[in-house]
Amino acid sequence: MRTSPLSAIALSCLLACGDDGASQTVGVSMSASDTNMTDPSPTSTSAGPTSATSEDTGTAGESESGTPTTTTPTTSTSTSTSTTEPETSTSTSTGTTDPIDTTTTTTDTTTTSTSTTTTSETGETTTDSTTGEPEPCACPDIEVPLDDGIFVLSDDAELWKYFPETNSFTMLGAIGCGMTNTFSMAVDRLGYAWVQFNGTGELRKVDVTNVADCSDPGFVPGQNGVTNFGMAFVSNSDSDKCDRIYGNTYSGFGGYSEGPNAGDFITIDPNDLALSKLGKTNFDGAELTGTGDGRAFIFGGQFPSKLVEADKDTGAALDVLPLNGLEINNGAFAFAFFAGDFYFFTDSDNDLFNSEVTHLDYDDSDMNGVQDLTVLTENAPLLVVGAGVSTCAPVLPM
């Protein structure tokens, strides 16, 4: 996300964060390449205390536009399969804590069914039964995987991929949409990056396996008075992996701001692409990220910036985490959830060329009792204005 051209006129040039479409990437060839970003002395700070607020309510519609893999840890799994060939049936029982498999063969007639029961660490038990039908909103097996990294969009309309495990970037190429004034981006479960353009609010779908393939999905900009918004795809729930776009509006006037009811929390119906306002947020200009288990998070605000888990029905804050030491300062910014943690891409020094990358140990995977903020690099090879992670990406640490 970046501020609009109008805000650049109103503010000093140090606060402007857009461009005229000319490339601002430093030291990067147009062919796909890996760039490792290392920092000999990464800086760590602790995120601030947590508070919660609530806001007005609304209602989100249902959708069936996409779905990620389930990564719920299990303690036991049982599977039974019956096959009705003429005079044959086979059942198999397997326990995860007992290596012994028992197979029996009896005589029966013809049908096929599968039932899987899973018990999670929290004691919750779910059962899934199928009759050979395709899984709804299944994640595709494509050349550019959706589950091993974060897609990032540059200010000059290039699509890159960031790999958290190695803190490295790979350029996928310039998107073929005929427009370069990029604003935000979200990635769906089917392998398409939905790119939004600054000032017009137009959306285009870019195939992540062929970034020159850019199509118009038919979204009508300006619905309900909304032009630009930070956005992300979010799964419907932990059990319903189909996803839809949620967003936080930006008025386009002045820099990003924070205050009571400053922005609108919106969603886009995946069937007719109708935009609806669900409630209010405290941010005029904020980005979103979603998870495969149905959670939505907002990144915005100032002094300090904040990470907010939002109610998808209303936009109300369920949890607020101040990000002490991480500032947006009206620079280009984006973020994404990946494998239990968050990765922030900011231009807090407003150099208009290179983003900083900051990692939040949200799940406290190092078990030190602190949600550490660590600067991974201060000079990414691009200025990031959008970040998108498919809901096919892992929810738990890899």
CATH at residue 46: 2.120.10
Domain boundary (100, 130, 160) is at 130
Is residue 396 in some structural domain?
no
Q: Is residue 393 part of a domain?
A: no
By the 8 A CB rule, do 391 and 376 touch?
A: no
Whether residue 176 is contained in a domain is answered as: yes
289 plus 245 within the same structural domain: yes
Specify whether 46 is located in the same domain as 85: no
Domain-terminating residue out of 110, 130, 150? 130
Task: Answer yes or no: do 263 and 316 share one domain.
Answer: yes
Same domain, 122 and 246: no
Residue 395 placed within a domain: no
Determine the structural domain holding residue 167 and report its residue range. Answer: 5-67+139-388
Amino acid identity, position 89: S
Q: What is the pLDDT along the chain (398 residues), one digit of tens a residue?
A: 877 654 444 433 333 333 443 333 333 333 344 555 545 445 555 666 544 333 333 333 343 444 333 333 333 333 333 333 444 333 333 444 444 444 444 334 444 444 444 444 444 444 444 456 778 899 999 999 999 999 999 999 999 999 999 999 999 999 999 999 999 999 999 999 999 999 999 999 999 999 999 999 999 999 999 999 999 999 999 999 999 999 999 999 989 999 999 999 999 999 999 999 999 999 999 999 999 999 999 999 999 999 999 999 999 999 999 999 999 998 899 999 999 999 999 999 899 999 999 999 999 988 999 999 999 999 999 999 999 999 999 999 97
Residues 174 and 312 in one domain: yes
The structural domain count of the chain equals 2
Shared domain for 316 and 381, answered yes or no, is: yes
Residues 113 and 189 in one domain: no
Residues 61 and 107 in one domain: no
